[in-house]
Amino acid sequence: MSSPVRAAGPPPASHLYHADHYDWSRAPATFWHASGGPPPVAVDPLQGDVDAEVAIVGGGLTGLSAALHLARDHGIEARVLEAGPLGWGASGRNAGFCGPGGARRSLGWIARRFGSEAARQWYQLQVHAVELVRDLALRHRIDLRAAGEGEYVVAHTPRHIRMLERAAEEARAIAAAEWPLLSPAELRERGIALAEAYAALHLQPAFGLHPLRYLRGLARASIEYGARVHERTPVIEWRREGRLHRLVTPSGTVWAERVLFATDAYTPETLARELEGRTLPVLSAILVTRPLTVSEREAQGFLVPALVSDTRELLFYMRLLPDQRLLFGARGGLRADPASFLRRRAWLEARMRERFPAWRHVSVEYAWWGLVALARDGLPHLGPLPGLAGAWLAGCWHGSGVALATLAGRLAAFRLAGRTPDWPLPPFLAQVPPRFPLPGARPVILRLLYGCHLLGERLETFRATLAEARREREQR
Ligand SMILES: Cc1cc2nc3c(=O)[nH]c(=O)nc-3n(C[C@H](O)[C@H](O)[C@H](O)COP(=O)(O)OP(=O)(O)OC[C@H]3O[C@@H](n4cnc5c(N)ncnc54)[C@H](O)[C@@H]3O)c2cc1C
């Protein structure tokens, strides 16, 4: 007997953005795809009808980590169904910052809302997530192309120094963590000269990696342990029939006892009402330049492969890659059609050249963008979908999913195997993301949010100009 999970035809996406952004037929044109080595073999599209104890929708870091841990640690050979080529989603498009993060909320906010024990657990989970990535790479011989130690979060105005001081105080008080706050001079001594850096918090543990090499390594390891991975296999219909989940794809069907939606910002909301409106997907774009010479790097004073981001709501992030290219990215943008992409690219390039004036002449060789999922409550989630026994949803990594999605996959494996995770979890991590009350109004919410951020930025610049003028007057 079929239960009424909403049937849907292709394409399987929420289409909050232009359809071009959800074109699964092509791998995204990223630097990672150009330098990611050979793709894994034995990942052909699903053919025919198959049974599975667990089906995983989404072949990103969450899905592949869940598949690997299910097979390796719980003896369950899951089926992974990925709509595009493996790594088509954010996992193959990100900046490769592997560090703490995953929530829009501070440790202090979490302590006030859920108690200091939950905040401490959340901090420890983030550290554990980064260590897990290193462990997986060692154990499964994955060449991460790791580079850099720690992540520098820079105050982009003098007023934001206080925000960093508060974050350092909270980390010390709640988790006994020491995140040093560096002055601009100390940053320069470390080979990181930036115009808009009034102080920097040095977060650890963190390092840079090649995200697609990492993802492909996870895929190979999960296949070695018995998982079945199918790329170019979009789930276009999902029904519950009796105890089983029936996942229909263009060339076959999986009958599964349990299913994990590891789809984050690309969650196919048209498949079921229960998936609708659980994330707010936002755009983030990246540029990668040609390799920089030693003298070019010295001229700019940006010399080391450090991970750097700033304190803006719509943050800028940057790093030198191991082959000395600059990767430069930023969040924002309301439209994802091809013309908007070209405008966004030009805008981002102009911002990059403002920040790195010595590299005005340096060409940009790669540009792409992708979606990051935010939750209504600003927290990451992994929980059972209400009313749909055996169905789980994991996501809302808030643009910091490289480490956290890997860990979420490991935790999901425990849940899907019917076991309690071996790591204490803060309460929000045991629930699905709460719904946005009017899912269709999310573009309006985003427009308002961006409008507020922009206004805030302009006020900030105005205030900084006034303060500068006052200082000059006093000095005269
Ligand atoms: C530009 C950018 C930069 C970023 N930089 C960083 C960074 O430096 N550090 C960091 O920690 N995080 C970063 N992130 C965030 C990080 O990449 C994500 O949080 C993480 O990769 C999410 O992994 P995931 O497996 O949960 O989702 P994804 O990797 O997005 O995978 C979801 C998959 O589900 C598939 N799917 C959707 N619908 C269906 C369907 N119906 N059938 C089958 N498959 C389906 C999609 O094709 C997709 O591949 C960045 C994100 C972006 C976009």
pLDDT in tens, 79-126: 999 999 999 999 999 999 999 999 999 999 999 999 999 999 999 999
Q: Are residues 393 and 470 in the same domain?
A: no
- Token readout for 335 is 């439209």
Same domain, 185 and 264: yes
Give CA–CA dist 434/380, Å, rounded: 11
Strand boundaries in 388-471, DSSP class E? 391-395
Q: In sequence order, what are the residues at sequence separation of 6 or more whose Cβ sits closer than 8 angstroms to the Cβ of residue 124?
A: 175, 424
Range of the domain at 456: 440-475
pLDDT digits (tens, 9 = 90+) for 256-288: 999 999 999 999 999 999 999 999 999 999 999
C-alpha 303/C-alpha 295 separation (Å) is: 10
Cβ(189)–Cβ(303) under 8 Å?
no
ipTM, two decimals, is 0.99
**Looking at the structure, do residues 451 and 312 belong to the same domain, yes or no?**
no
Q: Of 382, 388, 384, 67, which Cα lies nearest the Cα of 239?
A: 388
Q: State whether 72 and 88 are in the same domain.
A: yes
Where residue 48 sits, what CATH number does that domain have? 3.50.50.60
What pLDDT is stored for residue 471 in this prediction?
77
3-class SS at 223? helix
Which atom in ligand 1 lies closest to the alpha carbon of residue 401?
Answer: 19
Q: Are 470 and 158 in contact (CB under 8 A)?
A: no
Number of domains in the chain: 2
pLDDT at 118: 97
81 CA distance to ligand 1 middle (Å): 14
Lateral strand order in the sheet of 307-310: 181-182, 200-203, 151-154, 307-310, 316-320, 326-331, 280-289, 364-374
Residues 269 and 209 in one domain: yes
3-class secondary structure, 449: helix
| Count of other CB atoms within 10 angstroms of residue 92 | 26
Same domain, 467 and 409: no
Please name the residue whose Cα sits nearest to atom 16 of ligand 1: 401
Residues 470 and 413 in one domain: no
pLDDT of residue 325: 98
Token reading at 357: 């004036």
CB of 230 sitting under 6 A from ligand 1: no
- State whether 421 and 445 are in the same domain: no
CA distances from 464 to 331, 376, 460 (A): 23, 32, 6
Q: Which atom of ligand 1 is nearest to the CA of 265?
A: 30
* Angle at the Cα of 169 from the Cα atoms of 168 and 175, rounded to 5 degrees: 85
Residue 340: which H helix or E strand, with range? helix 338-355
Report which ligand 1 atom has the smallest distance to the Cα of 369. 1
Q: Which of 212, 263, 308, 316 to mutate to test the pocket of ligand 1 (most atoms within 8 A of CB)?
A: 263
CA neighbor of 30 nearest in space, from 362, 367, 402: 367
Residue 93 Cα to ligand 1 midpoint, Å, equals: 8
In the chain, which residues have pLDDT < 50? 1-12
Considering the domain architecture, whether residues 140 and 220 belong to the same structural domain is answered as yes
Check residue 98 and give its pLDDT.
98
In DSSP notation, 183-196 reads PHHHHHHTTB--TT
Judgement on whether residues 330 and 450 belong to the same structural domain of the protein: no
With a 6 A CB cut-off, is 235 part of the ligand 1 pocket?
yes
What are the residue ranges of helices labelled H in 207-337?
211-224, 294-300
pLDDT at residue number 15: 72
For the Cβ of 401 lying below 6 angstroms from any atom of ligand 1, the answer is: yes
Strands 181-182 and 200-203: antiparallel
Look at residue 453 in the predicted model and tell me its pLDDT: 84
- What is residue 14's predicted lDDT score, i.e. its pLDDT? 58
Which pair of structure tokens corresponds to residue 231?
């790329």
Same structural domain, 267 and 364: yes
Q: How far apart are CA 296 and CA 290, in angstroms?
A: 12
Sign of CA dihedral 161, 122, 214, 178: positive
CA distance 15 to 336: 10
Long-range contacts of 20-28 (CB under 8 A, 24+ apart): 20/336, 20/337, 20/338, 21/336, 21/371, 22/266, 24/83, 24/84, 24/88, 24/232, 24/234, 25/84, 26/84, 27/84, 27/85, 27/87, 27/88, 27/92, 28/88, 28/92, 28/93, 28/368, 28/370
Q: 91 C-alpha to center of ligand 1: Å?
A: 4
Instruction: Give the C-alpha separation, 40 to 80, whole Å.
Output: 14
- Both tokens assigned to 415: 């849940």
Q: For 428-474, how does the pLDDT look when each residue is reduced to its tens digit (9 = 90+)?
A: 999 999 999 999 889 888 989 888 888 887 887 777 778 778 878 88
Are 432 and 450 within one domain? no
